[in-house]
Chains A and B, each alone.
Chain A
Amino acid sequence: MDKMPRWADVLLVPVISLLLAAILSAIVILAIGENPLEALGYMVEGALGSSYGWGYTLYYATNFTFTGLAVAIAFHASLFNIGGEGQATLGGLGVALVCLALPWPHWALALPVAIIGGALFGAAWAFIPAYLQAKRGSHIVITTIMFNYIAFALIIYLLNNGLKPIGQMESSSARFPEGANLPTLHEMLAVIGIPFSKAPPVNISLFLALLAAWGVWVLLWRTPLGFEIRAFGKSEPAGKYAGISPTKIILITMVISGGLAGLMAINTVMGEAERLVNNSVQNAGFIGIAVALMGRSHPLGILLAALLFGFLVQGGAELAFWTSIPTELIIVIQALVILFTGALDNMVRMPVEAFFVRRDRARKARATGAPAE
């Protein structure tokens, strides 16, 4: 075989990329006169050292799982959906409308309807660029990013004109009824007697995200539709030959992608804020792109990458809190991770691959006692 082993592909390459990003980050931290090891210590302690830290890390990871899956499924159809930000924003509107519509008696009733609301609004927001791509050839990268800004503006407008209760200063919606509040991980673990910090907003959406990851895997690798999505993504001419309609695949894939992004709002809007606020997505849509790239568009990889980015966000926040390292630097570190794991993937991958090919040939040569074939 002319390839490297699978473990190297899925583990070694990302780990080397991460190390490179870490080394470069360390240099930057040194340059501003701080101690990088100490900084790493604060990050690890802050993100993973307590159930409080874990709670936040998992909360962010939940967001990134949804947006990462959204980007990944579009990748499989060879579509670059960078509109996760806007689709999640609209998903928040859908969730909020559901939660505010009825005096929900119990979250178990509110959650399924809110899921439909969030997914539907996110999907609808992705449908428009998808339709324009499929029928009019407008490039989806351009339209989805423009739709992000439209979404931001729309939410600000709606918050100030209609959703904001009369007499309230802050531009946010009314609080959701008690019955629409989701159980937190603290509450859920308390049932089985495991203590967990009460403060972090991590909630039942975490399990919804795991379920979504499993669902995406089943869809892509176990259903005829997923087969068509992947086939279309690999080769459009072959897809046409097989009778796979490009229009249909673009529309369906983008609707699923937008729906997944919209589901993120279950975690933020329904689980954390318990009302609709401005900028509820907080860049998770964009980080989802890095998560999908780093996770090689595979649900399992996405879960791991989402956890890493959750760690970076939470650890970074702690770092800024405890040291004089400015928050801007945290963004630099995140950017370096994205740069190395996403954009510069091949820089690491190619030498690693070459190494394994050389090693294989040398081994074969030794085994046969003849020059490498």
Chain B
Amino acid sequence: MTAPAIELKGISKAFGPVQANKDISLSVQPGTIHGIIGENGAGKSTLMSILYGFYKADAGEIFIRGNKTQIPDSQAAIAAGIGMVFQHFKLVENFTVLENIILGAEDGALLTPSLAKARRLLKELADDYGLNVDPDALVETLSVGYQQRIEILKALYRQADILILDEPTGVLTPAEADQLFRILGRLREEGKTIILITHKLREIMEITDTVSVMRRGQMTATVKTAETSPTELAELMVGRKVLLRVDKTPAEPGAPVLEVENLRVTDKKGVERVKGINFEVRAGEILGIAGVAGNGQSELLEVLGGYQEGQGTIRVNGTDIDLTGRHSDGQSRRLRGISHVPEDRQREGLIMDFMAWENTAFGYHKDAAYTSGLLTNNIGIRQDTAEKMERFDVRPPNPKLAAKNFSGGNQQKIVLAREIERNPDLLLIGQPTRGVDIGAIEFIHQQIVALRDQGKAILLVSVELDEILSLSDRIAVMFDGHIMGERLPSETNEQELGLLMAGVEPGKEGTAA
């Protein structure tokens, strides 16, 4: 039997008091796709960063192809034949594909020979692996899927035969993800070893040969993919039985709460991001907006939330709301019964340095309940926060702890508690479970459904198709600022939605827009 491509023995790494990796051993066979799955904060990224030389392990040994190897920095990792494709691409947007590929790997002071050599090699790589890209295209003109290919090519150009991909499908449409998986399959055939880090069970089941599960810094299991199931993996990840489905009764929609007519939004750079969309959300239903990130969903939420200007008509409970930004802001929206759980809780929804109780008052800090005379009622807010934390099972239930010291799931619960307990008519909720562990996802989904069952209107924006399909009563798909179509979850599937997300009208030729 050949030596494992990668073998880790007893890797440990602590950040301050946090033990990110604890005595981890892992063996990856050459020519296989090895999945590493785990919740956020389980230590997947730390482990890969150690392998790529970003962090130095406190203890443990690394063997590459049977040889004990020190990896003090990423240069050493590249020399050992390890390539890494990051979740956030490290490309120079206004360079060409070719320039990006040789960046940092130029031979000699003159660029021309390097470029010529790269062009030749790129041709070979494209032929070998079916990774076709135009070497002279500017990166900024390419789609996200193509940009990812360049990252893979960059690694291959540096002669990597072990490729690590960190959450590679987070930014891709389902079709692009399929393409990526085909490429990975081809690389495996050519004898490359691939480590795929993800939190999506579906991807693990689809493409990997073996899968390792991480929980709280430890490697809890390594199993053959063919011999496991999503339920078993989820259980291994969380450490208890998890409900992967959302339990809900059919919706009983009432009167329209939110009506959007011909809404257009232009961003600061003058680019039109929302191009005349129409939809409505009724009381007691969840409208899910599906789409790949960056197709106008964020701007839609910002306009509805009152901190982005727009043109068109938005009615809430039958009354027009101001879209010019002159007479309205986030606070006036709240007074109209609109609560908003923003997409990026760490940037918008919370102030990370503020304590939990300050974050609970955030946005509602002028409310009568939270003030007494000219002053804020700090004691009252703290009490209220303690109660909310109790009801939403925020851990630890300490109102005086700064938001940054809570886990992602608990941060999201703080935001949800603040917004849902306002008893809004309309709840805007963006990426409710991004960066949230599976255990908390279950709870958050239950809360959203419970609010719907109280007869509230809910607009859900998510890039996770699974989430859209399981929560929504109706689904609208956004692509390039348009709504490509509306579907009922019972009458559609991932393939159809995936096509709509890519701007293709199913059953029609060519692409729209």
- A-to-B contact residues, CB < 8 Å: 1-2, 218, 221-224, 227-228, 230-231, 234-235, 237-238, 240-245, 357, 360-361, 364, 372-373
In the complex, which residues of chain B have a beta carbon less than 8 angstroms from the beta carbon of A1?
17
- What are 26 sample pairs from A and B whose C-beta atoms fall under 8 A apart? A2-B17, A223-B374, A223-B376, A231-B354, A231-B362, A234-B351, A234-B352, A234-B353, A238-B347, A238-B350, A240-B307, A240-B330, A241-B305, A241-B307, A241-B330, A242-B331, A242-B365, A243-B306, A243-B307, A243-B332, A243-B363, A357-B16, A360-B17, A364-B17, A372-B19, A373-B19
Measured in the bound complex, the distance between the Cα atoms of B330 and A230 in whole Å is 17
A228-B365, A372-B17 known; A222-B332 Cβ under 8 A: no
In the complex, which residues of chain A have a beta carbon less than 8 angstroms from the beta carbon of B486?
none
Q: Are the C-beta atoms of A241 and B17 separated by less than 8 Å?
A: no
Q: Are the C-beta atoms of B365 and A241 separated by less than 8 Å?
A: no
- A-facing mask of B13-42, CB < 8 A → 1, else 0? 010111100000000000000000000000
A-B contact count (CB 8 A): 80
Q: Are the C-beta atoms of A235 and B347 separated by less than 8 Å?
A: yes
- Chain B residue total in the interface (Cβ 8 A): 36
The reply to whether the CB of B375 lies closer than 8 angstroms to some CB of chain A is yes
Q: Are the C-beta atoms of B333 and A243 separated by less than 8 Å?
A: yes
- Select from chain A the residue with minimum beta-carbon distance to B364: A242
In the complex, which residues of chain B have a beta carbon less than 8 angstroms from the beta carbon of A2?
16-18
Measured in the bound complex, the distance between the Cα atoms of B333 and A223 in whole Å is 22
Measured in the bound complex, the distance between the Cα atoms of B331 and A245 in whole Å is 10
Least distance between A224 CB and chain B CB atoms (Å): 5
Q: Are the C-beta atoms of A357 and B365 separated by less than 8 Å?
A: no
Report B341-387 residues with CB < 8 Å from chain A CB: 342, 344, 347-354, 358, 361-363, 365-366, 371, 374-376, 378
In the complex, which residues of chain B have a beta carbon less than 8 angstroms from the beta carbon of A241?
305, 307, 330, 340, 342, 348-349, 363
Name A235's contact: one of B16, B17, B352, B375 (CB within 8 Å).
B352
Q: Identify whether the interface residues of A are mostly helix, strand, loop, or mixed.
A: helix
Measured in the bound complex, the distance between the Cα atoms of B47 and A205 in whole Å is 60
Least distance between A177 CB and chain B CB atoms (Å): 36
In the complex, which residues of chain B have a beta carbon less than 8 angstroms from the beta carbon of A357?
16-17
In the complex, which residues of chain A have a beta carbon less than 8 angstroms from the beta carbon of B332?
243
- Select from chain B the residue with minimum beta-carbon distance to A231: B351
The reply to whether the CB of B329 lies closer than 8 angstroms to some CB of chain A is yes
Given contact pairs A2-B18, A373-B19, enumerate 12 new A-B contacts (beta carbons under 8 Å): A2-B16, A223-B374, A227-B358, A231-B351, A238-B348, A242-B330, A242-B365, A243-B306, A243-B307, A243-B329, A243-B331, A243-B363
- Select from chain A the residue with minimum beta-carbon distance to B344: A237
Query: In this complex, which of B331, B334, B348, B353 has the most chain A Cβ atoms within 10 angstroms of its Cβ?
Result: B348
- A-facing mask of B304-325, CB < 8 A → 1, else 0? 0111000000000000000000
In the complex, which residues of chain B have a beta carbon less than 8 angstroms from the beta carbon of A243?
306-307, 329-334, 363
In the complex, which residues of chain A have a beta carbon less than 8 angstroms from the beta carbon of B350?
238
Least distance between B419 CB and chain A CB atoms (Å): 11
Measured in the bound complex, the distance between the Cα atoms of B361 and A230 in whole Å is 13
In the complex, which residues of chain B have a beta carbon less than 8 angstroms from the beta carbon of A237?
344, 347-348
Q: Are the C-beta atoms of A224 and B307 separated by less than 8 Å?
A: no
- Select from chain A the residue with minimum beta-carbon distance to B375: A222
In the complex, which residues of chain A have a beta carbon less than 8 angstroms from the beta carbon of B349?
238, 241
Measured in the bound complex, the distance between the Cα atoms of B363 and A311 in whole Å is 43
Q: Are the C-beta atoms of A224 and B366 separated by less than 8 Å?
A: yes
In the complex, which residues of chain A have a beta carbon less than 8 angstroms from the beta carbon of B14?
372
Measured in the bound complex, the distance between the Cα atoms of B14 and A360 in whole Å is 14
Measured in the bound complex, the distance between the Cα atoms of B473 and A136 in whole Å is 46
Q: Are the C-beta atoms of A234 and B376 separated by less than 8 Å?
A: no
